[in-house]
Structure 1
């Protein structure tokens, strides 16, 4: 099957970006405290970015004659990003640290996509993966800076 590994990574991203959108929503909904007025609208930008990536990834998968996951059950069954019920127990710093962890996972998955799409000769998808990996690393840097830490992109 042509581009089999690339399509596998694309579909993994469909599940994981869908889950990441919910993790960001939860951060958005369950935030309180110092920095709220800045961070709350920033989460809207983060959600928009992840949803845009999800659309591009899904459409690329369809372009390659793939079938993106399209039910909540499929997303839940295939995502590697963990979730937990919403609560008020986490500080904003803890919530941001969760986002960093999940963005790191996505950056690693984009790297895997870069590698497999390169092996399979799919330059167009590789270009998508490269761009989204760079954007994801920028998000990591921004959140880490807010937390008073270095980007630690290779962490």
Structure 2
């Protein structure tokens, strides 16, 4: 992953800290793009009795995720970095488990389970990135990533609540 500084800035963080933060921000952009694509895949393909509610919820998740991608990418450039923001780069950089979509391509429970797993994994990676940014005294990046983490945790909670609802109805 390229994490070199390419733009001059008056930002007072030391270059080594900025490089490390740019690296975690690029990693976050990649994983959020991966997550965004998975959310939309489920959004388009999910079926079932609670379809419309889940369909709309996943649209909200996608919009929130895209906003976080934009904010993380902008922070990386504000630190003087180059954003690795193409889908091709995201595929290379994402640490999310490479897995095909659920076997039951329209099964609501399968899609929700997969999204819950991916949200949990993304949250774990972002949590580690918050720690890295905090250790470097880059509190701006840590705060931004904390916002991302807060939304990921909320989305995970909503997905898990939906799974429990599905379990009780079966």
TM-score by length of 1: 0.88
Q: Which residue of 2 aligns with 1:139?
A: 155
Rounded to whole Å, the distance in 1 between the matches of 2:119 and 2:88 is 22
Find the aligned partners of 1:21 and 1:87 in 2 and give their Cα distance. 20
More deviation, 66-75/22-31: 66-75
Cα distance, 1:105 vs structure 2: 1.3
1:2-36 Cα offsets, whole Å, 9 max, x none, are 33322211111111111111101100111111210
After TM superposition, list the pairs within 5 Å mapping 1:6-85 onto structure 2. 6-81=21-96, 82-84=98-100
Which 5+ residue runs of structure 1 have no aligned equivalent?
A: 150-155
How many matched pairs?
A: 149
User: Would the aligned equivalents of 1:30 and 1:87 in 2 still touch at CA under 8 Å?
Assistant: no
Q: List structure 1 runs of 4+ shifted beyond 4 angstroms.
A: 85-88
Instruction: Return 5+ residue gaps in structure 2 as ranges.
Output: 1-15, 166-170
Q: Is the 8 A contact 1:10 1:61 kept in 2?
A: yes
Higher CA-based Rg? 2
**1:39-84: CA deviation from partner (whole Å, max 9, x where unpaired):** 1111110100100000010000111111111322211111122353
Residue 3 in structure 1 maps to residue 18 in structure 2: yes
Q: CA RMSD in A?
A: 1.8
Kindly provide the CA deviation profile for residues 85-131 of structure 1, in whole angstroms up to 9, marking residues without a partner as x.
68863511110111111111121122111111111111111111112
Report deviation, 1:140. Answer: 0.8
1:93 to 2:143 alignment: no
- Asked if 1:107 is matched to 2:95, the reply is no
Q: Is the 8 A contact 1:15 1:75 kept in 2?
A: yes
Residue in 1 that maps onto 2:7 = none
8 Å CA contact retained: 2:116, 2:156: yes
